[in-house]
């Protein structure tokens, strides 16, 4: 009898976990500061050829692609849109599946999603990307130690790794190497994010400050290679 109740409990937990996760074609959009939004999803499709993030001023027309993700088959992915014209834009995903079928997701604004993404599975992928935190061709600095949290991944994009983002209140400030402020991402709730390198306008060294509430977690730098 005890085994029976234990089995029922485990099945209930599995079902609740499944309900708490949004999987494609569902996705999340959350605010990350003024005119900045974070788009995230969990991919359970077997094979995906393309996932593109599209943005529009309304929910039905004039959608424009702002990014096609580098690895559409990643189980979990996220992207920070730091160039939105306002903080109530509409977003949708364009998905091309393995056999050529394609679909558009429903559109949504930041903050409309009621469930968070699963926070599991990011750490191994992030550690693998750490090997690319200092890309070939970057000028060597004797004082540089790559960050565990913010670094350049294998595709040359800036990767943000925050495994416990669902439990803390992170925000990041980005600066030019001469300390000129660039922009800030607030209220980061995703465990892993990709920032398009075009957000930084040029190649070279940049600095960042990572905070949990108002406590400084790390102050470091990263290098973006000149390949765009």
Please compute the mean of the pLDDT values over residues 167-180 and round it to a whole number: 93
- Assessment of whether the complete model's pTM goes beyond 0.75: no
> Is the per-residue pLDDT at 9 higher than 80?
no
Q: Are 100 and 57 part of one and the same domain?
A: yes
Q: How many other CB atoms sit within 10 Å of the CB of residue 125?
A: 18
Residue 180 C-alpha from the chain's centroid: 24
CATH number at residue 39: 2.60.40
> Is the per-residue pLDDT at 6 higher than 50?
no
Return mean pLDDT, the chain: 77
Q: Which phi and psi angles does 5 have, rounded to 5°? A: -65, -35
Q: Which pLDDT score is estimated for 143?
A: 65
β partners of residue 108:
91
Please compute the mean of the pLDDT values over residues 184-190 and round it to a whole number: 87
Q: Are 65 and 129 part of one and the same domain?
A: no
Q: Which pLDDT score is estimated for 210?
A: 96
Q: How many domains does the chain have?
A: 2
**Domain containing residue 69:** 22-104
> Sorting pLDDT into bands at 50, 70 and 90, what band is 60?
confident
CA gap 8, 21 in Å, rounded: 21
Q: Are 197 and 132 part of one and the same domain?
A: yes
Q: Alpha carbon of 46 to those of 54, 55, 75, 100, 194: distances in Å?
A: 22, 26, 10, 13, 22
- What string of DSSP letters covers 163-210? TTTTTS-EEEEEEETTS-EEEEEEEE--SEEEE-GGGG-S-EEEEEEE
- Placement of tokens 């599946």 in the chain: 97
């Amino acid at each position: 009898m005890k085994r029976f109740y234990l089995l029922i409990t485990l099945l209930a937990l599995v079902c609740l976990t499944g309900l708490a996760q949004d999987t494609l074609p569902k996705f999340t959009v959350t605010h990350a500061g003024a005119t900045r939004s974070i788009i995230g999803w969990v991919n359970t499709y077997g094979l995906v050829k393309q996932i593109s993030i599209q943005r529009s001023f309304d929910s039905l027309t004039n959608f424009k692609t702002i990014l096609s993700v580098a690895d559409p088959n990643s189980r979990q992915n996220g992207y920070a849109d730091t160039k939105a014209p306002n903080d109530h834009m509409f977003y949708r995903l364009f998905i091309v599946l393995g056999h050529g079928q394609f679909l558009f997701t429903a559109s949504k604004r930041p903050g409309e999603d009621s469930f968070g993404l699963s926070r599991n599975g990011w750490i191994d992928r992030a550690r693998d990307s750490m090997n690319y935190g200092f890309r070939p061709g970057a000028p060597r600095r004797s004082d540089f130690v790559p960050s565990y949290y913010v670094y350049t991944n294998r595709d040359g994009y800036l990767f943000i790794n925050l495994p416990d983002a669902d439990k803390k209140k992170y925000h990041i400030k980005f600066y030019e190497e001469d300390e000129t402020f660039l922009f800030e991402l607030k209220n980061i709730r995703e465990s892993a994010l990709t920032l398009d390198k075009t957000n930084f306008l040029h190649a070279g060294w940049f600095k960042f400050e990572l905070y949990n509430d108002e406590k400084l977690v790390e102050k470091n730098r990263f290098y973006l290679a000149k390949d765009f």
